[in-house]
Structure 1
């Protein structure tokens, strides 16, 4: 078994990351969730911005020319404006990191779980949200011990804005 590790993405990783997001969009659509990411989310400029701000984290194995990207996500520090209003209650008001745009390459099982567990070890207090139709991600979040805190409304789009909000705080 090849050791897995996490690292920050670089612009060299961008083409593979785009392929992984395309795969994720197709998978979500096939599994009854065609609108969460539609055909264009996340936009390339958002992914590039994540990379430049060192928010894009990759789960990889192998090394050099044999390295494979197994999964990716954005770890966004600071308050998320979307999370200021919730129909429900967050676990606390402590500083947190938000996990956004998680996607797997499909090369291994449970890659999203590994990403969430890594984020919990690194940051301790993690929030995330997902579409009500994204049963797979709800299952992963709940399987990792995240608490369903309520509903939030995305502020960066005009329609299909409701998301289920989750949090886990390692006390």
Structure 2
């Protein structure tokens, strides 16, 4: 279960959140590089245009809390409903072909432990059938997904870049 309290809650991002979101993505890129995963997001992913589109399409969810009357963003992710074209071909097998949502671009600000776990659990609680993928070098995200009951389903290839395309695909379906 998520540790969501009145002071710790989820909300959709607005354009006013863009600077904080971009800062957190920068922090996440640095953290991934320091932990042996410099290529998953490189130095520019996700690009600002993608982040803006996620906000405009109401895909960006924020985990926030309030300290001394000030709201802080603890973590963020894009929640994408509908079939993800990247997931059409898998070297392996999905748990099922039922409708699902995909978690993309999850990142923690580093201000609170367990923030990524809380984001994943929120998605499961609200949508039931959730897919995600991560880079083979992203051991931290693999651990978060697997320790939260996701099954490793196989390998997929990203469609939006020419190199470093292999990702480990995960799914969790609450029946």
TM-score normalised to structure 1 length? 0.98
Distance 1:54 1:63, change over 3 A: farther
Residue aligned with 2:125, SS: helix
Distance 1:158 1:100, change over 3 A: same
Distance 1:106 1:33, change over 3 A: same
Q: 2:57 is matched with which residue? A: 53
CA shift for structure 1 position 63:
7.6
2:36 counterpart (24, 32, 35): 32
Count of equivalent residues: 171
Task: State the distance in 2 between where 1:84 and 1:64 align.
Answer: 46
Query: After the TM superposition, which parts of structure 1 deviate over 3 Å for at least 4 consecutive aligned residues?
Result: none
1:92 counterpart (79, 96, 117): 96
- Uncovered stretches (5+) of structure 1, i.e. residues with no partner: none
TM-score normalised to structure 2 length? 0.95
- Uncovered stretches (5+) of structure 2, i.e. residues with no partner: none
Which region of structure 1 is more displaced relative to structure 2, 58-67 or 19-28?
58-67
Residue aligned with 1:116, SS: helix
2:141 counterpart (137, 142, 149): 137
Deviations 1:40-67 (Å, cap 9, x if unpaired)? 0000000000000000000001189600
Distance 1:64 1:6, change over 3 A: farther
Q: 2:85 is matched with which residue? A: 81
Residue aligned with 1:62, SS: strand
Q: 1:118 is matched with which residue? A: 122
Task: State the distance in 2 between where 1:63 and 1:93 align.
Answer: 42
CA shift for structure 1 position 3:
2.2
Q: CA RMSD in A?
A: 1.3
Task: State the distance in 1 between where 2:101 and 2:6 align.
Answer: 29
2:71 counterpart (64, 67, 72): 67
